[in-house]
Amino acid sequence: MNRLGQVFLRNRRILEYISKHVDGDILEIGGGDGRLTEFLVNRGKVWVVEIDRKFESRLREITENVIIGDFLEIQPFRVDSIVGNVPYYISSEILFRLLDWDFQRAVLMFQKEFAEKMLMKPRERKYGRLSVMAQYYFEIKFMREVSRYEFTPVPEVDSAIVMIRKIRHRDLGFEEFIRKLFSQKNKKLKNIIQVESKYSDMRPDWMGVDDLLELYRSISSYSGHH
């Protein structure tokens, strides 16, 4: 795949479908040649961030609010909607960067496999740290798959559109705890951390967010006493 994830949706019905799910003040990530942006300007006030300067003049024909830069670096501001057919090489960075933004909903196209991992449940094969952190921070709705053949050039993988709402603020302590547990997710808990718990004989990847959170809280209050 090309370096900046530049694959363009060529099916106008899907561009319209995406745009119909956002409104108000809208931020688009990765505007490219503006093919989605053109639909978005009918839905509200649009800001578009694009890293590749060659698209700047085309994007400026569509909206005056063009930010040439890296989405991961720009200063967040308040919007209603965030939307984008996002570059796949930084899916996870983009997802968690959303925690720094104040928004109502995000409608994002990810690599299908990434979208599925976000939604995996305990004991499912691809359940892992990404699933836990995604489900801890966001309410995620799978909207639809999009075949690789809807893009030009045709990428090596299929895509999927998800809708996301933020439900929690960043908690670095919990993130660290999950990183530790899931670096040894095939072990039983009693072999990873020294603590008496009803979960001792469970493996991290058998536990959902609620169980993991309960365990984390019990440990935090426990170590707080020492």
Number of residues that bind ligand SAH (CB under 6 A): 22
| Interatomic CA distance for residues 27 and 40, integer angstroms | 9
Interacting residue with ligand SAH among 44, 58, 65, 72 (CB under 6 A)? 72
**Across the strands, what pairs with 126?**
none
| Nearest distance in Å: CB 57, ligand SAH | 14
31 versus 204: smaller Cβ distance to ligand SAH? 31
Interacting residue with ligand SAH among 83, 87, 91, 181 (CB under 6 A)? 87
Q: What angle do CA 27, 67, 98 make, to 5 degrees?
A: 40
Cis link prior to 76 (omega < 30° from 0)?
no
| Interatomic CA distance for residues 49 and 35, integer angstroms | 14
Answer yes or no: are the C-beta atoms of 109 and 146 closer than 8 Å: yes
Identify residues 132-171 at the interface with ligand SAH (CB under 6 A): none
Structural tokens at position 173: 């302590």
Q: Pick left, alpha or beta for residue 35 (phi over 0 → left; psi -120 to 50 → alpha; otherwise beta).
A: alpha
| Nearest distance in Å: CB 223, ligand SAH | 38
136 versus 151: smaller Cβ distance to ligand SAH? 151
| Nearest distance in Å: CB 89, ligand SAH | 8
207: closest CA among 149, 124, 142?
124
User: Does residue 119 bind ligand SAH (CB under 6 A)?
Assistant: no
| Interatomic CA distance for residues 47 and 115, integer angstroms | 25
| Nearest distance in Å: CB 32, ligand SAH | 3
User: Does residue 205 bind ligand SAH (CB under 6 A)?
Assistant: no
Give me the 28-67 binding string for ligand SAH, x by CB under 6 A, dash otherwise.
-xxxx--xx------------xxxx---------------
Q: Which residues in this chain contact ligand SAH in the complex, by CB under 6 A?
A: 4-9, 29-32, 35-36, 49-52, 70-72, 85, 87, 90
